[in-house]
Structure 1
């Protein structure tokens, strides 16, 4: 299980590295995963025996892990504050840096004062009931409890109003993961303080350790999942836009034959969303021009033909629109004079919901290829539509 967690953390860290290099606001989250990945790697016996044990300081790996853990939790706070309450960073940044530095220094002091006669596998268990060891552990756990509680509140608060389903789900999972992190540290604090005070805990030590491990793994899993969901959503939208671009391009290429002047010269970049947005704009610009070639009678005839097909209302609208557009296009490419002044034509309004607009144009593209549309256009070509 621990090996799988370490591998998953490194996968996410390497996955997020390109975005962290390009986008400054992504760097804190990458830093958090990198810190936790390094900390978890150091904890592996093989790595510890090669890199840490030869130094000769018992449990040196533990204090390095915990300082990295503080750094990672601080980075998570930077990320969520920058996203949910960016104005707070002006005064929050120096405060977070100061708290992290003070907490790390305090950790080192308590570590130096804690008796460590031998290397121990589990520093928490080894220091149950020991004053200095407990003080060290409570410093680390208390810092994480505060950081994870604040992060959870901000993630869940922002997740309720974030745009995009995948982002909302991702933020809620991150909030749940940090909440489990706070639950883990709270459980550890309760176990250690009761043992120091000589008060029975709710479970025996072995069960307490099992529950702590279970909650910790759940926290890491939720955080990894929450980090992945928005990225998967972006990937899925990119794939969807590429497919839509492929399907819409024939309609765009066909329509601009009637009005090649609508094609914009400025480069649009490699983003499929931007390319698709450009093509939608140019398609509706051509439709506006073709509207001057369509008489009221032609549009009414297209509506009657589409309704006769007995389709659902949305498909009927798309088919009727495709019919008069294709007839108007045919008239335009044949050199017919416009029936109305172009300025009098009603502009086609794009839907403010981009994905809804993509669906509309995809429906228009399919209707434009419909044999009924072709037959209608040829049947009415003598009406210079």
Structure 2
């Protein structure tokens, strides 16, 4: 087995093992796991050492080829099942019935044609050895026909659904999956064309042509591996970013909620970083709204003046101004001060809050930095 095949096989088994826990927990992930497990097992059956062991143990020449191709049918059907489930969920029951019929008929026909194909000895390339054979050619046509249909439909569904995917990671992953299944359809076409050409014109097919077909097959598998993994990597990356953002705004949350503890929701230890970040942002917003009732308008104007003298500009200046009056408000609340009258404070305390969640997180990151800046601390000490 060459280096490319070794890498592809290692990646297949790695992805299969990686996706196993999700397949156990989430039913909709089982089709994709079945696809990878089938393709990984099929690729393993194509390894020379495994081929020799299986065929010798069974006492049937090239039985591993039949097993490899049958697993290929299972894998292609599972991929199509997966994409139908995400792109056309309402059509899934009907699609599964059609897939079951197609796969069953194809696998039965392949088994019969394999038995009818002369196999006087073990060969390294079953297709190349049976070029010109009627039964061997028919076997190949059934296999590539079933595979080609599944890969063509999957390509169409992946690309169609990718246009509606919101997240960039998911959209790119679906398009790579579509490219992988497109290469799978191309492999089916190439393999069928080579067998037909060899049947009609014996001696025309040579090793380089078979090498091209194998390269297309490896490209298809590689693209499917990358495409299926990319959305998961995107989710992981977003979780890391959410965790990091949460760590950075946590000190601000701790300061504000120490003054307004009653706005804190229940325990959050088992929540995902995304949900925890959402809750933290909401609680900071609620705390700001409560604390704004303890800040007269002249304190805000003084905070704006102090922020202007600091030399910072733009969003950082706005954040520093808010941080300064928030420190004043926290101190007033903790000292037991009464809320100021409506005439003494601004009518809307949430004017600076962003409607977009990611924009609001970015704003709070700047606010947290400003709140703990030397300028805000110095002003708080002067007012104490």
Shift of 1:315: 2.0
**Distance (Å, rounded) in 2 between the aligned partners of 1:325 and 1:13:** 52
Question: Which residue is equivalent to 1:272?
Answer: 273
| Matching of residues 359-370 of structure 1 within 5 Å | 359-370=362-373
Gap change, CA 1:349 and 1:129, over 3 Å in 2: farther
- State the Cα RMSD in Å: 2.2
- Structure 2 counterparts to residues 28-177 of structure 1, below 5 A: 28-177=31-180
1:296 CA displacement: 2.4
Q: Does 1:377 align with 2:376?
A: no
> Which position in structure 1 is the counterpart of 2:331?
330
Rounded to whole Å, the distance in 2 between the matches of 1:356 and 1:328 is 24
**Are 1:287 and 1:348, in contact at CA under 8 Å, matched by a contact in 2?**
no
Report the CA distance shift for 1:50/1:309 in structure 2 as closer, same or farther (over 3 A).
Answer: same
Cα deviation for residue 199 of structure 1 reads 8.5
Q: Is the 8 A contact 2:54 2:64 kept in 1?
A: no
**Residues 1:159 and 1:307: Cα distance change in structure 2 (over 3 Å):** farther
Instruction: Check 1:264–1:65 CA distance in 2 against 1; reply closer, same or farther (3 A cut).
Output: same
Could you tell me which runs of 5 or more consecutive residues in structure 2 were left unpaired when the two chains were aligned.
Answer: none
**SS at the partner of 2:120?**
coil
| TM-score, scaled relative to structure 1 | 0.92
Q: Does 1:297 align with 2:273?
A: no
**Offset at residue 293 of structure 1 (A):** 1.2
Relative distance call for 1:73 and 1:350 in structure 2 (3 A) is farther
Task: Please give the per-residue CA displacement for 1:160-207, whole angstroms capped at 9, x wherever unaligned.
Answer: 221212111111111111111111111111111122222897xx5222
- In 2, distance between residues paired with 1:27 and 1:304? 61
Q: Secondary structure of 2:164's match?
A: coil
Q: 1:199 to 1:45 in 2, by over 3 A?
A: closer
* 1:294-337 per-position Cα deviation (integer Å, ceiling 9, x unaligned): 22232233333334444342222222222222221122112211
Equivalence for 2:286: 285
Assess if the C-alpha contact under 8 Å between 1:59 and 1:119 holds in 2: yes
Equivalent pair of 1:81/1:154 in contact (CA under 8 Å): yes
Confirm or deny that 1:193 pairs with 2:184: no
Show the counterpart of 2:245.
244
Distance 1:40 1:328, change over 3 A: same
CA contact (8 A) 1:241 1:273 kept: yes
- The equivalent residue for 2:254 is 253
Unaligned runs of 5+ in 1: none
1:164-243 matches, cutoff 5 A: 164-198=167-201, 204-243=205-244
Q: Closer, same or farther in 2 for the Cα pair 1:351/1:26, shift >3 Å? A: farther
Separation in structure 2 between the aligned mates of residue 32 and residue 59 of structure 1, nearest angstrom = 23
Separation of aligned partners in 1, 2:168 and 2:311: 34
Q: Deviations over 1:17-40 (max 9, x none)?
A: 111111111111111000011111
Q: CA deviation at 1:111?
A: 1.2
Is the 2:31–2:82 contact (alpha carbons within 8 Å) kept by the matching residues of 1?
yes
Pair 1:195–1:330, CA change in 2 (3 A): same
Q: 2-side partners of 1:284 and 1:126: how far apart?
A: 72
**Cα offset, 1:346, TM superposition:** 4.5
Taking the aligned partners of 1:350 and 1:83, their CA distance within structure 2 comes to: 36
Shift of 1:378: 4.0
Report if aligned partners of 1:284, 1:348 keep a CA contact under 8 Å in 2: no
Q: 1:348 Cα deviation (Å)?
A: 6.8
Could you tell me how far apart the structure 1 residues matched to 2:80 and 2:329 are? 58
Residue 283 of structure 1 and its aligned partner are, at CA, apart by: 0.9
